[in-house]
Structure 1
Amino acid sequence: MAEDGLRIDKFLWFSRLARTRALARKIAQKGHIRCAGRRIDRAHAMVRTGDVLSVPMPGGVRVIRIDTLPERRVSPKLVAEVYRTVESLDDRKR
């Protein structure tokens, strides 16, 4: 499973970037997430280890690099093992 990739909605939920899977699906379908510069507008778009995502958050945009693809929702303590923040652009810096 992890070698082939993971649906973006599952990744957002598993890595705690979204509170629920339904919310993760809505975020993905809005078309505001970018994967390697490419706009994502489908919940079933695949992400892989090493992909760089731009994810809009309430305080601004977070740019993250995927380190591992979890098989289930991770605990808050293990989030650092799933992805690494490359850049964080908050509203004050724009």
Structure 2
Amino acid sequence: MSGERHRLDVWLWHARCVRTRSVAAELVRAGHVRLNGARVSAPAQPVRLGDVLTIALTGRVRLMKVTGFSERRGDAQAARETYLDLSEPPRDGPDVQESPE
């Protein structure tokens, strides 16, 4: 299983990082995705288990470790099983409590 790999654009789509596979391919071509720290521009770039992706999405950077693959795009729960989110939580969300001064 360690030799298993998938196309980067397909993995991004299956992991529900984007709405369509064509948007995933454009995100990669535009240089908004790094694979193990190196910028990639080919949507067909292979992704393997254990790889770490840095993805610049609208106003946020996500850091995701690939933990699995799926044969098709499933629901959100199935998508969450394909990665480990290493990103820092957003700072300006409603759950953030401000410290008293």
**TM class, shorter-length:** 0.7 to 0.9
Partner of 2:79: 79
Deviations 1:13-45 (A, max 9, x none): 111111001111101111121111111111111
Q: Bigger CA drift: 83-92 or 18-27?
A: 83-92
- Indicate the structure with greater strand content: 1
**What amino acid is aligned across from residue 28 of structure 1 in structure 2?**
V
Q: Bigger CA drift: 69-78 or 7-16?
A: 69-78
Q: Bigger CA drift: 33-42 or 77-86?
A: 77-86
- When the two structures are superposed, what TM-score results if normalisation uses the length of structure 1? 0.86
Matches within 5 A, 1:5-20: 5-20=5-20
Q: Which has the higher contact order (CA 8 A, sep 6+)?
A: 1
Q: Given the alignment of the two structures, is residue 64 of structure 1 paired with residue 81 of structure 2, yes or no?
A: no
Q: Which structure's CA Rg is the greater one?
A: 2
Q: Percent identity, aligned pairs only?
A: 32
CA positional deviation for 1:58: 1.3
Matches within 5 A, 1:17-28: 17-28=17-28
- When the two structures are superposed, what TM-score results if normalisation uses the length of structure 2? 0.80
Cα root mean square deviation, aligned: 2.1
Runs of 4+ displaced beyond 2 Å: 1-4, 88-92
**Closer, same or farther: CA 91–39 of 1 in aligned 2, 3 Å:** farther
Give the aligned length: 92
**Closer, same or farther: CA 22–2 of 1 in aligned 2, 3 Å:** farther
Structure 1: gaps of 5 or more residues: none
